[in-house]
Amino acid sequence: MTVQHNFRKPLLTTTNLTMQFGGLKALNSVDLSINEGQIFGLIGPNGAGKTTFFNMLTGIYRPTSGDVILDNTSIVGKTPAEIANAGTIRTFQTCRLWDNMSILENLLLGTYMREKPGLFQTLFQYTKVKTDFTRKAEEALAVVEKFDPALASDYNRKVSELSLVDRRRVEISRAILARPRLLLLDEPAAGMDPSETRQLMGDITKLQERYPKMSILVIEHDMTVISGMAEQVAILNFGTKIAQGTFDEVKNNPEVIAAYLGGE
């Protein structure tokens, strides 16, 4: 008998995950499991509960009930910082960069995010800090360069001067520099035209080739946008998961079609 060692284990599992805001169940008993190294798409019309789901995975909201397991450990009740340290890093639906800071400065925030508090001791060791800084800057630029070499060569540019797609690339690079095991992207293509959207989706697919163990959970409003990249998709509608499978498996599901027709 051959034993297969190359199966992938689940990195993140949610069970009966529920979030109630007053009388509204924004998320209703959602079970989801994402494997190591998988690109997973979370899709649904406006108000379906997608961002609320991210907010529970990252500790911004504490679920009303249910559990979130990251690598065999429940993260419910942990702070956003503890969850980030455990390897879950997100980007936001509206780009969150420091507009008056340069590309490099924004990126360095990502590399310093994963530092332990002991770093501050080294603040008094100038030479060590200087070499450390150079190393981090080089690492940061190497990551952003993979998206677009111009972003690395123009590292002193203020991010406020960049196009939306380049701002997203900086934001995603910053997240990558925090070395996530699970990268959460909340509508990364929001506000982009179809050609920019295609470029960005191509970039995200390439990320996975570069970091094969990292799992990526992408929220998208428009199902077709992630059709070519997500191995699995789950569809949310009014807080309930109504379908899951490959894009081809779910696209003709009558409930999914109805959810989209109802929403538009």
Q: Which residues contact Mg ion (rule: CB under 5 A)?
A: 50-51
**Judged by CB, which is closer to ligand ATP: 56, or 108?**
56
Q: In the bound complex, what is the minimum distance in angstroms from residue 241's beta carbon to Mg ion? A: 16
| Interacting partner of 214 out of ligand ATP, Mg ion, none (Cβ under 5 to 8 A depending on kind) | none
Residue placing its CB nearer to Mg ion in the complex, 144 or 259: 259
3-state secondary structure of 217: strand
Over the window 183 to 222, marking each residue x when it contacts ligand ATP by CB under 6 A and - when it does not, the resulting string is: --------------------------------------x-
Query: Please, which residue, 221 or 251, has the CB nearer to ligand ATP?
Result: 221
- Considering only 12, 17, 26, 177, the residue that binds ligand ATP (CB under 6 A) is 26
Whose CB is nearest to Mg ion? 51
User: Tokens 């503890």 identify what position?
Assistant: 82
Q: For Mg ion, which is the closer residue by CB, 108 or 223?
A: 223
Distance between CA atoms of residues 26 and 195, nearest Å = 32
From residue 153, alpha-carbon distances to 41, 161, 195, 210, 259 in Å are 32, 15, 24, 21, 45
DSSP secondary structure string for all residues of 96-146: ---TTSBHHHHHHHHHHHT--GGGGGGGG-HHHHHHHHHHHHHHHHHHHHH
Nearer to ligand ATP, 151 or 201 (CB): 201
> Which DSSP letter does residue 158 get?
B
Least Å from the CB of residue 27 to ligand ATP: 8
Tell me which H or E stretch contains 198: helix 194-210
Q: How far is the CB of 180 from ligand ATP (least distance, A)?
A: 20
Q: How many residues bind ligand ATP (CB under 6 A)?
A: 13
C-alpha distances out from residue 180 to 91, 130, 240, Å: 12, 25, 27
**49 forms part of the interface with ligand ATP (CB under 6 A):** yes
